[in-house]
Amino acid sequence: MSHFPVRRLEAEAIRDAILTSSGALDDTMYGTSVGGNTRRRSVYLEVRRNRLDPFLTAFDAPQPHTTLGHRPATNVPVQSLLLLNNRWVIEQAEQCAKRAWSRPDGSSDRQRVEFLYRVCFSRPPTEAEVDDCLAYLAARDGAALAAKTQANDLEEEIAALGEQLSAITQPMRERLLASRSASRVEREALRPIARWDFEADLSDSLGPLDGRAFGGAQIHNGALIVDGQGYVVTAKLDRPLTEKTLEVWVELSTLDQRGGGAMSIQTPDGAVFDSIVFAEKHPRQWLAGSDFFRRTQPFQAPSELAASQHPVHIAFCYDSDGTIRGYRDGQLYGTPYRSPGPVEFESGKAEVVFGMRHGPPGGNKMLFGRILHAQLYDRALSSDEVAVSGLSLGGYVPESRIEAELSKQQRAQYRRVQSALTALIQRHQESTATANSGADQRNRWRDLAHALWNLKEFIYVR
């Protein structure tokens, strides 16, 4: 045995070792084959030639296209990358960490490390290994504290730059707000069929489409707050709707989210919908979402860079010939396109949704952000009407409108300060994420368990 060569575990054994370490393995005997997302032993996973399990395939599970007399054991980068980045592996590492962290005997960190080594390697750790693990945990604590300090310092710099930006834009903002009274009659002539101000409740100030909150969505400081779980569904439409305009003023919690809907019209089961969606197909791009992308094409517009810093006005117009036009802060967003629509939403068989692309809730359909105001029209507004409607939100003035009114010198200064502010906000978000991750005990122990699974000893046998 002293001369036995090191060999790698088979793909099925690696998967079962991960499930065993996390405490999730279902060792039920017999039964029909199952999919790869289950907790059953890998010997029970179904094998379909056109839909092979990607985890097992990466670790050289035989492909049932030809007869294979000997299973190879390759050593390729994709295997390491899969163990490092695969979502299922990370989820199982979190379960393994929970076993160590939530032990009923009130273990110390040293005892938790010893427990992880026993479940991962079937042996106790050496003193050097325990010291290394404890040093890693201490380093995470130190990094979290340093990141928190840095985040606090960045907040002061952000506030200072914010004051500089305000000094440039506030006079112009006040001037534009003062000019609104002159166009009040013009704005009122647009006549949306529904309006939600989110000042105190979810009521429709123009009609019967009052909303109802689910999943923790709430009104706070004059905005609807949705956190990736909460959403709002209104009463059923009291008229048929084909040609239409969806209009929303929204501020995002982060620009790195994917697929959440700000405002949608859908059938109650969510099977048919039109939606204002952020970054579903391409990062940081607004999209006219629809069921199975039937009426969806990219607008080929610039990436969104500012919606996490202040509200932006988004309007999608659905013309009777199927043309869909997008607008951002009153300006045409990218290029309009011709879709095979529009869809007719029947009276009493459709509803408006906020904070979700379409029902049922879950997955990447949910939005993270604040919705300040929304309006629904039963016709497609013209470009001029969208620009006028975009000025109807109380004291809000789009940043692009302010920038357009500045002098050449002011605009250059505005862009310099705005660019510096954007960079600081990005650094602040990164520091805050590091601080929160390091301070969370679950993250520290999850990452430690994950690191142990990436050691050679976990998938190789002497």
Residue 199 dihedral angles phi and psi, to the nearest 5°: -75, -50
**Do 200 and 313 fall into the same domain?**
yes
pLDDT > 70 fraction of the chain, expressed in percent and rounded: 94
**Do 278 and 361 fall into the same domain?**
yes
**Do 261 and 367 fall into the same domain?**
yes
pLDDT for position 304: 92
- Which of the four pLDDT bands, split at 50, 70 and 90, describes residue 265? very high
In angstroms, the CA 403 to CA 395 distance is: 16
**Do 120 and 27 fall into the same domain?**
yes
- Which of the four pLDDT bands, split at 50, 70 and 90, describes residue 395? low
- Which of the four pLDDT bands, split at 50, 70 and 90, describes residue 392? low
Domain boundary among 380, 407, 426: 380
Contact 322, 242 (CB under 8 A): no
pLDDT for position 105: 63
| Beta carbons within 10 angstroms of residue 165's beta carbon | 18
pLDDT digits (tens, 9 = 90+) for 198-224: 988 999 999 999 999 999 899 988 899
pLDDT for position 188: 60
**Do 356 and 213 fall into the same domain?**
yes
pLDDT digits (tens, 9 = 90+) for 96-147: 998 888 776 667 889 999 999 999 999 999 999 999 999 998 888 888 888 8
Domain boundary among 351, 380, 409: 380
> Average pLDDT, stretch 426-446?
76
pLDDT digits (tens, 9 = 90+) for 53-67: 889 999 988 888 888
pLDDT for position 325: 97
pLDDT > 90 fraction of the chain, expressed in percent and rounded: 57
pTM over the 0.85 mark: no
Average pLDDT across the chain, whole number: 89
Q: Is residue 196 domain-resident? A: yes
Q: Is residue 136 domain-resident? A: no
CA angle 423, 424, 430 (to 5 degrees): 95
Q: Is residue 197 domain-resident? A: yes
Structural domain count, the chain:
2
pLDDT digits (tens, 9 = 90+) for 30-43: 999 988 778 999 99
pLDDT digits (tens, 9 = 90+) for 278-335: 999 999 999 999 999 999 999 999 899 889 988 999 999 999 999 999 999 888 999 9
pLDDT for position 179: 67
Domain boundary among 380, 401, 421: 380
Burial bucket for residue 405 (CB in 10 Å: 0-12, 13-18, 19+):
middle
**Do 114 and 196 fall into the same domain?**
no
**Do 338 and 224 fall into the same domain?**
yes
pLDDT for position 438: 57
> Average pLDDT, stretch 7-19?
93
**Do 206 and 331 fall into the same domain?**
yes
- Which of the four pLDDT bands, split at 50, 70 and 90, describes residue 183? low
> Average pLDDT, stretch 404-412?
89
pLDDT for position 396: 61
* Residue of 429, 253, 236 lying closest to 355 (CA atoms): 253
In angstroms, the CA 272 to CA 346 distance is: 11
End-to-end alpha-carbon separation of the chain, Å? 9
Its domain, for residue 61, covers: 7-126+441-461
pLDDT for position 313: 93
pLDDT digits (tens, 9 = 90+) for 358-375: 999 988 999 999 999 999
CATH of residue 321's domain is 2.60.120.200
Q: Is residue 247 domain-resident? A: yes
pLDDT for position 155: 86
* Residue of 9, 12, 106 lying closest to 57 (CA atoms): 12
